[in-house]
Amino acid sequence: MKYEKYPFQVEKLDEKSRKLLESFNQNLDVARIGPKGYLQPNSIHSPLGIDLLNFQARKDDVWLFGFQRSGTTMTQEMLWLIKNDLDFEGAAKEIMDIRFPVFSHNLYMKGQTKNFDNMKMSPELLSIINKYKSLHYKALDKAEGNRFIKSHIPISLSTNSIFDVGCKVVYCARHPKDVVVSLFHHLKMFQPDSFKDISFPDFWKLFKNDCLPGTPWFEQVKEGWARRNDKNFLFLFYEDTKKDTRASLLKIAKFLEKDLSEEDLQRLEEHFKIENFRKNKSVNNDHFKRMGIVEENKEFIRKGQIGGWKQYFTPDLNAEADEWIAENLKNSDLILPTI
């Protein structure tokens, strides 16, 4: 089906959300979209957003969905390597954003590549920038061969063609307490203008009150969870992969209809050890440091631990988080991992 008009309901921000966003100096060019009221940039219901909804998936695509900071980069690398018969050399040669583009960047990073234009860059960095510029969804539409596509747009607001054509779709989730801590660091790193001075309790308030892009978090994850037993759909928890990387690698291989030998598994396990992965320039976004976009002492592949939340939640915040979680799990069969 081709949409001529944006099909989902678009609600202006309610007073409480607007005040909260305003008090933390956040972008107000956002709206509540669809019946779940996802916070999204207004561009989602513009002609661009309609084009994204009309984007056609193909049967041999691999799509990856998940809320930011749920281990999606690690899972992208697993999918890419296993689908490409463990082409470690090919993976090392090209950065992840190019091998496995982020579809939602068309929406969320709109206009940001313009900032690159006045920067003095080495030829190597210029070539990366040119590749970023060519990642437009229209180019992806024409791309030949296997496509790997990641998106942070909730599944229900995405092109339905991924389910019509029966391509492989993966959903990554992680316990929200660790997601919010990881996102806190991530946004301070990539969007310092909006988040540099925010405290963790204030950041938590934005998250809990559905005032960060893509929230309500529970609704996104429940959408993935509801499809977990569907054909061509794989739901993965970050915590399971972290606790037993081999089991997740085998699950992914089975899902992609690939075999892994004992030697393959050992190589992959070594590759995904956090201390190795953090040093891997094709996945750690090191180029943003060399471009001067992020600070030298910040890491995209950060701690890679379960339970980092314990250092950030005071007993009061933790009680509040537990209450919020219990409330959201009340009428749901979703089971969060233990952390």
190 binds ligand A3P (CB under 6 A): no
d(CA 74, CA 252): 12
Pick between residue 13 and residue 149 the one whose CB is nearest to ligand A3P.
149
Amino acid at 244: D
Q: How many residues touch ligand A3P (CB under 6 A)?
A: 19
As beta bridge partners, residue 38 has 33
307 binds ligand A3P (CB under 6 A): no
Q: Please, what is the minimum distance in Å from the beta carbon of residue 308 to ligand A3P? A: 5
d(CA 174, CA 177): 9
Question: Would you state the structure tokens that stand for residue 323, as one six-digit string?
Answer: 């209450």
- Segment interacting with ligand A3P, rule: CB under 6 A, options 105-113, 119-127, 204-212, 271-279: 271-279
208 binds ligand A3P (CB under 6 A): no
Could you say which of 74, 180, 189, 198 contacts ligand A3P (CB under 6 A)?
A: 74
284 binds ligand A3P (CB under 6 A): no
Q: Please, what is the minimum distance in Å from the beta carbon of residue 181 to ligand A3P? A: 6
| Cα 46 versus chain centre, distance | 22
Closest CA to 70 of 169, 161, 189, 150: 150
242 binds ligand A3P (CB under 6 A): yes
Closest CA to 64 of 107, 103, 105, 110: 103
Cβ atoms of 39 and 146 closer than 8 Å: no
272 binds ligand A3P (CB under 6 A): yes
- Cis peptide leading into residue 216 (ω within 30°): yes
Pick between residue 69 and residue 208 the one whose CB is nearest to ligand A3P.
69
68 binds ligand A3P (CB under 6 A): yes
Long-range contacts of 285-294 (CB under 8 A, 24+ apart): 285/95, 285/97, 287/95, 287/125, 287/128, 288/190, 290/122, 290/125, 291/116, 291/119, 291/121, 291/125, 291/129, 292/119, 293/190, 294/189, 294/190
Question: Would you state the structure tokens that stand for residue 275, as one six-digit string?
Answer: 């201390």
Binding mask 149-188 toward ligand A3P (x if CB under 6 A, else -) reads: -----------------------------x---x--x---
**By Cβ distance, which residue is nearest to ligand A3P?**
304
Residue 310's CB is within 10 A of a number of other CB atoms, namely 11
Cβ atoms of 277 and 304 closer than 8 Å: yes
Cβ atoms of 268 and 81 closer than 8 Å: yes
Pick between residue 49 and residue 304 the one whose CB is nearest to ligand A3P.
304
Pick between residue 73 and residue 158 the one whose CB is nearest to ligand A3P.
73
Could you say which of 48, 140, 274, 339 contacts ligand A3P (CB under 6 A)?
A: 274
Could you say which of 163, 190, 200, 277 contacts ligand A3P (CB under 6 A)?
A: 277
Q: Please, what is the minimum distance in Å from the beta carbon of residue 22 to ligand A3P? A: 27
Could you say which of 253, 294, 301, 321 contacts ligand A3P (CB under 6 A)?
A: 301
Question: Would you state the structure tokens that stand for residue 159, as one six-digit string?
Answer: 């092109």
Could you say which of 32, 36, 69, 177 contacts ligand A3P (CB under 6 A)?
A: 69
**Matching residue, tokens 């490409």:** 84
78 binds ligand A3P (CB under 6 A): no
Pick between residue 20 and residue 173 the one whose CB is nearest to ligand A3P.
173
- Segment interacting with ligand A3P, rule: CB under 6 A, options 64-72, 91-99, 289-297, 321-329: 64-72
Residues 6+ apart with CB under 8 A from 307: 178, 339
303 binds ligand A3P (CB under 6 A): yes
Q: Report the interface residues with ligand A3P, using CB under 6 A.
A: 68-74, 178, 182, 185, 242, 272, 274, 277, 301-304, 308
